[in-house]
A and B are shown apart, each in its own frame.
Chain A
Amino acid sequence: MASGEADKVSTSAMQRFIAAGIGAGVAEMLTLPIDAAKVRLQLQCSGASQPIRYTGLFQAMHRIGRDDGAAALWRGFQPALLRQVTYTGMSFVLYEPVRNAIAGDVPREEIPFIKRVLAGGTAGALSIIMMNPTEVVRTIGMPTASPHRASSLIEE
């Protein structure tokens, strides 16, 4: 019985990681253009001397596509994919033990809201602590401005 439990836990953790990774990868590929637009929107400083380049989600996506080509929307997908798969899979794997540690041996339906929130947050935090390098690589790897703009910065 004990060995069976151990088998179950190990296999299910592995399978959970894989499953979460696949799901997260698919979702990331679908949302990568949105993410690109988001990063650019977040990085541009409003109120500065520069004119506002991106005003909204769709405008940003359209502009990126126009300026840099549609491929720019998916540029840097490898680190993004790496980050998403590792982070989501890890938080998936971690969620259940963290939840059990927080809530104790209570049926899933009876775990109070706050404990569930805590568990989810803790799992996410733990996994991102482990996977932060991928996040760094992803953020840096994502082009933040058009090359013309960057080159003009360099020339200054």
Chain B
Amino acid sequence: MWHPDPCARVTFTSRQIKTQMQAHRGLSTPKVSTVLSNVYSGAGLRGFWSGCQPNVARCFIGNACEIGCYDEAKTRLIAAGVPDGPLGHFGASGIAGTVSAIFSTPVDVVKTRLMAQAGGVPTEGVVQYAGVVDCFMRMPAIEGVASLYKGFVPSTCMHNAEARAWTCLWLTRTPACTMLAQSRPLSHAAWRLREPSRSQSPHAKLPGRSCTSSRTSRRSRGFGVRTHEGVRIPLESDLVFLPKTQAVHTFPGRRRYFSARQGLLPRPMQSFNVAFSPAIAPARTSPGRYVSPGRQASPGRHVSPGRTVFASHLPVRSRRKEVEEESDLPRLAHRMGGRRLRRWARDNFWESVVAMPHPDSDEDQGAERPYFQPGARFGIINQNGFAEAEAAIEAARHSTPPRSRPTAVAITSSTSAAVTRLTRLSRVDRAVLIEFAETIELQEAERRLRQHLRTAARVILQSAGALPPATSSAALPPALPTVASPAAPSMAPGDVGSAMLGPVASPAAARAPSMALPTVASPAAARAPSMALDLALAPSMAPGDDESDSSTEAADEDGWQMVDTAAVAGSRWQVVMGGAASEGTAAGLTDVPPQRGRSKPRRRRAAATAVRHRTKGAAPPPMMSAVQRAVAGVPVCELPPTANPTLRMMHQAASRFYGLQVGTVRSPAEATYVDECAVSARVVSPSSSASAAAAAATAANGECAPNGEAGALITAAEALVAAARLSIDKAIAATAKAEAPRRRLQMCEVK
């Protein structure tokens, strides 16, 4: 009985044939037990592996074609423009099934015949084959080559169906999300992490829950990623929407991006867990209003707990209107359904996940980690500030009179690095920055920014009495960037940018009909004073104290007068600036020696009193700038004790810089101010640009080393201010060159 060919081993007697046929005769299918016993009695256990060779070949070919061709076909279809949806998948699986049928049908025919033979069922032509090779040889010889493709059409149909079932399984993952375990790291992490957090109470999934990190307690506290603000986005969320333009981060750690496709976890459609960026969250607030992260992070207003989580950021301005129109995002998501929501998210947002070593983590900081890990953070920079800087640069470029461009710009390596950094940070066209770099070196701009920050902090501190002047002067390197103007040597050494932004005390301004610079305070900026505004306001007043004589005060008052009326009008602020000052700007930027310990708080207070008197006469301004508040004598209070060192640092910086008491709101006016200025004392996270400025100021004071969040914020603030100041400086310089010094100068409008 033994035969080397397994198919030939199966011999069958006429009795078996008869049995088989009798089973067929009764129009009933042979029972499984009958078939089993027949095969076993015929060829023993080996009978069950009859036809194994062609079957293996068939399955190998079929499977290989289906799997391999499916991926290949899908890639090509998508490359050819077919949408990556059901159409693409079905097209690809159809192609795969057809190819697979082409290659596997001959083997399939052979297999079928051999197997039928093994079971004792004769083929109709009563042809018996000795084995695979024999079948392959004799079938074409007897019945023609086409016989190898018998049943090609049904075979194709079946392969198609198989391929589609296969791909449907891959696509839908319906039974128990099994297909998540692809090698995508996100999916892996989600798969692994999904389990423990499921058992948690819904409240544990809410944002704003800061969780202490220890590796042992990881299971108990669930998983998620924490955003910059400590908002935790749980991994139950399948979609994490972050504003597209906010995705750049400047952490010193590694940078990870998820494309929209990678980031979207495939789940059964219509049942998303959505983590929305706050870009979508502040839908119920009035447009243009900054909502502090602490307030908008209350999720109950928007969603059922555990379903939707907000990170905290403002929308990109261009998207803002649309985002606010589609106010109720959960309902919107429900209405849109899965596909539209995904597309919408892909169009408007993308994800960036920053693999950051957790501060408390005991792991090696340089070790490679999966993307979604507890403690991983989203590094987001408030794009609002960048938008301002961009707008400023854009406006400045358009307002600059056309002139011949230089054919080549010599850029030093340091400048090039700065350009790169700024480009990355602010997403400004590199050419624009290079164009600016020809006028002012970016390094110089950065240096001046740091000086500005220092000066601002010093002035605020001194004027508000937070620090004794001697101490602050000793502590702060008071290098103040100034403009040495030959025409006005006694002029306040105000930087041009600050002169534009804030009131400039200048004898020339007091004397002469001046060049008025309508500046940056738009109503939006009045509601949320930009960092650049406050920063620029502050140092512009310092020189007035430092160097001026009695005429300075008048000029100071003039400046404040302008500010006050403008503030009442609510539209824009005008600054009086002498023509001599503009000439000095054109002449070049040089530093004067630092003026140490010469500030006069008493005179400052006198000026503040004058301001107060004037504001009492007029209608009350809708808000006071931070500097005004500081000037008006709002005391800086002691810091409340805070456990978090970073928080404490931020509080300190904010309180010093803005002259605010941290932790309490003392009056309705102040509450309004806190609201409007987005310097909310209740803000626990340093996300706003104001806080960034505060952090920057603190860092500039040398109180902390720029690292981690503070470092990122400082970098952001620096980039913002540097970009804005660059634009301003360049515009002023160009205009002063091109135009007469006493003409009115329309300048950039931020916002």
Query: Which residues in A have some Cβ–Cβ distance to B below 8 Å?
Result: 4-5, 8, 12, 15-16, 18-20, 22-24, 26-27, 30-31, 34-35, 37-39, 41-48, 50, 53, 56-57, 60, 68, 75-76, 78-79, 87-88, 91-92, 95-96, 107-108, 113-114, 116-125, 127-129, 132-133, 135-137, 139-145, 147, 149-151, 153-154
Contacts and interface: CB of A to CB of B under 8 A. Distances in A.
A145 B63 contact: no
Interface in B13-47: 17-18, 20-22, 24-27, 29-30, 32, 35-36, 38-39, 47
Contacts of B120: 140
B408 interface: no
Which of B24, B144, B146 lies at the interface centre, i.e. has the most chain A CB atoms within 10 A of its CB? B24
A23 to B, nearest CB: 5
B66 interface: yes
B344 interface: no
Given A8-B192, A108-B182, A140 B154 contact: no
A31 B109 contact: no
B298 interface: no
B150 A41 contact: yes
B546 to A, nearest CB: 61
A47 B127 CA distance: 12
Interface of B: 17-18, 20-22, 24-27, 29-30, 32, 35-36, 38-39, 47-52, 55-68, 71-72, 108-109, 111-113, 115-116, 118-127, 142-144, 146-147, 150-151, 153-155, 157-158, 161-162, 164-166, 168-169, 173-184, 191-192
Given A120-B67, A135-B51, A144-B121, A19 B174 contact: yes
A93 to B, nearest CB: 10
B143 A133 contact: no
Nearest to B167: A23
B21 A150 contact: yes
B461 to A, nearest CB: 50
B56 A129 contact: yes
A116 B75 CA distance: 14
23 contacts: A15-B177, A19-B178, A19-B179, A43-B116, A44-B125, A44-B150, A47-B143, A56-B153, A57-B153, A79-B32, A107-B183, A107-B184, A108-B182, A125-B59, A128-B55, A129-B49, A133-B49, A139-B112, A140-B35, A140-B119, A141-B35, A144-B121, A154-B22
A135 B55 contact: yes
Given A27-B164, A140-B120, A46 B52 contact: no
Which of B39, B51, B67, B111 lies at the interface centre, i.e. has the most chain A CB atoms within 10 A of its CB? B67
A48 B125 contact: yes
Nearest to B31: A141
Contacts of A88: 162, 165-166
A144 B147 CA distance: 17
B56 A125 contact: yes
Which of B36, B151, B177 lies at the interface centre, i.e. has the most chain A CB atoms within 10 A of its CB? B151
Given A4-B192, A120-B66, A136 B115 contact: yes
B24 A147 contact: yes
B90 to A, nearest CB: 14
B142 A124 contact: no
A108 B144 contact: no
B289 to A, nearest CB: 43
Contacts of A129: 49, 52, 56
Given A45-B125, A141-B35, A154 B18 contact: yes
Given A19-B176, A113-B72, A122 B55 contact: no
Contact of B144 (A46, A79, A96, A114): A46
B207 to A, nearest CB: 26
A103 to B, nearest CB: 10
A6 B119 CA distance: 42
Contact of B113 (A42, A78, A91): A42
A30 B52 CA distance: 25
